[in-house]
Amino acid sequence: MRLLLSLFLLLPVFHLRAQQLVLPADHPDPSVVKIGNEYWAAGTTSNWFPAFTLYRSKDLVNWKASGHVFNQMPAWADYYMWAPEITYENGKVYLYYTGHKKGGSLCIAAAVADKPEGPYRDLGPLMCEADGSIDAFPMRDEEGKLYMIWKEDGNSKGKPTPIWAQEMKEDRTGLLGTKKELFRADAPWEKGLVEGVSIIKRQGYFYALYAAAGCCGKTCTYGTGVARAKSLLGPWEKFPGNPVLADNADWKCPGHGTPVEKDGRFYYLYHGYSTASGAYGGRQGLLSEFEFTADGWLKFMDQPAPNGPVAPGIITDLFAGNRLDDAWHWSVFQPVRAKVKQNSLQLQALPGNSGAYVGRSVMARHYDAQVNLQQNSTAEGGLALVGDDKNMVYASVFNNRVRLVQLKKDQQTVLMETTIPGAASLVLKVAVTDNTTARFMYSAGGGVFKTLNREPVDIAFLPPWDRAVRIALLAKGAATQKAFFKKFIVNNRFENGAGPTVRKRGVPSP
């Protein structure tokens, strides 16, 4: 015990330089694996679709979006696509994930592909406990037997949240035998909840990196702990110096990731909220190096992070090519139909309060966004700030009228409306300050911008508990109507000097 306490006292205080931002914007629960000479990663998309954007990298730092795991929902699931764990074994790529079963609870499931970019074939649910089963992680025991590790989501029902292990079929289509508890929340800092377990085996131990406490939103309390065992099925002991990752001045609520080895060194890819953009910017992908200690534990290293990417200052999408950039998502509950053609986005309308929309993550605390709405639009077209289908604020144009609309808890309020002259095209713009207030503007025919709301509209209500705000393009009306957009631009006004980096469609972030 004295040695353990000594190690705890020697653990470094965590600084920004040891936590490197590598996946800017909303990338919760990131997972990573090396396949060949590349690294592949994926993160939670929750109720955004397509599900599980894939990223590839040569160095763990510079990542390029490379498609999605699911462009159609698995037949058994309807929403909450969480915590993908991407792995590689014997020439096959296996992705384990969480989804909500139609008419049931949260389940862990698996999909398989011959190559990391897919296509993926869904293998269906592996475990569906009544309280929910989430955060799947595969691991072989000391004898080479394949197991599934997961969390029973008891905390959602006011119950304990054990971490379970159960043998898994080699074809990943089911589990064998009975489940065995590895550990549960029993330390004060864990606040009754442990989850997001990932395991690495070194120097005679299995090491479990796990998350604890509250994952998400403005009141999150997340942190990262480590536990170890000589045998996969235990007994497990937790490091008395936990948490090994906690809040600092720049990042809060760090946790839920995957360890990975590169060139004989060890790294942890995980998420955290920027203290600047907070819940509005979502849980962003961070990379930290760790090492194994002489007394059989691991510690995160206090060292300068190598030079790497920051969030781009300016993002430009000219809608080139023939499909939407992978950064765009839409609601899993909407049958969105979008087409990219001749440097234009064609978005087919939907009649509900939220219309049809496609959005991309907020990255900064202060930012501007604008888009050209084309005259040939037959639907009400708009520029929106979206929390979810029932919470958004947008400026839209239809029949030479521009209006500002708030949708809060699915209750629609028109904040202002005015008539505008007909123009070849109209530019809609929004300027956001402190992620809590927004001013909307418009410019007819490329002229001077006119402000719609001199008093800023309050957007603090937008982010749902587990997701970030999206800047979105919107089309409302009958399903036969369409809105046409050109030249979408976001200007992230960073206070720390990050950027500016111009990113056009098809050009990866630096």
Q: pLDDT-based confidence at 308, cuts 50/70/90? A: low
- Lowest mean pLDDT: which of 191-200, 227-236, 295-304, 402-411? 295-304
* 306, pLDDT greater than 60: no
* 12, pLDDT greater than 90: no
* CATH entry, 2-300, from 3.40.640.10, 3.40.50.300, 1.10.10.60, 2.115.10.20: 2.115.10.20
Cβ burial of 167 (10 Å; 0-12, 13-18, 19+) is middle
pLDDT number for residue 258: 98
Please give the average per-residue pLDDT across 30-34, as a whole number: 98
Q: Which two tokens stand for residue 265?
A: 């060194």
- Lowest mean pLDDT: which of 6-20, 199-213, 330-344? 6-20
Q: Is the dihedral of CA 476, 480, 481, 484 positive or negative?
A: positive
Percentage, residues of the chain above pLDDT 90? 87
Q: How far apart are CA 394 and CA 371, in angstroms?
A: 13
* 5, pLDDT greater than 70: no
Q: How many Å is the Cα radius of gyration of the chain?
A: 23
> Under a CB-based contact definition with an 8 Å cutoff, are residues 21 and 61 in contact?
no
Residue 287's Cβ-side half-sphere holds a number of Cα atoms within 13 Å equal to 25
Per-residue pLDDT tens digits for 417-470: 999 877 667 999 999 999 999 999 999 877 799 999 989 999 999 998 999 999
Q: pLDDT-based confidence at 311, cuts 50/70/90? A: confident
What is the strand order of the sheet 237-238 is part of?
A: 194-202, 205-212, 223-229, 237-238
Domain 314-504 class, CATH top level: mainly beta
Please give the average per-residue pLDDT across 150-167, as a whole number: 96
pLDDT number for residue 494: 85
> Under a CB-based contact definition with an 8 Å cutoff, are residues 200 and 259 in contact?
yes
pLDDT number for residue 307: 57
Q: How far apart are CA 403 and CA 52, in angstroms?
A: 35
Residues 28-48: b if buried by 16+ CB within 10 A, e if exposed? bbbbbbeeeeebbbbbbbbbb
Please give the average per-residue pLDDT across 146-159, as a whole number: 96
pLDDT number for residue 499: 39
Which residue ranges make up each domain of the chain? 2-300, 314-504
Q: What value does the mean pLDDT of the chain take?
A: 91
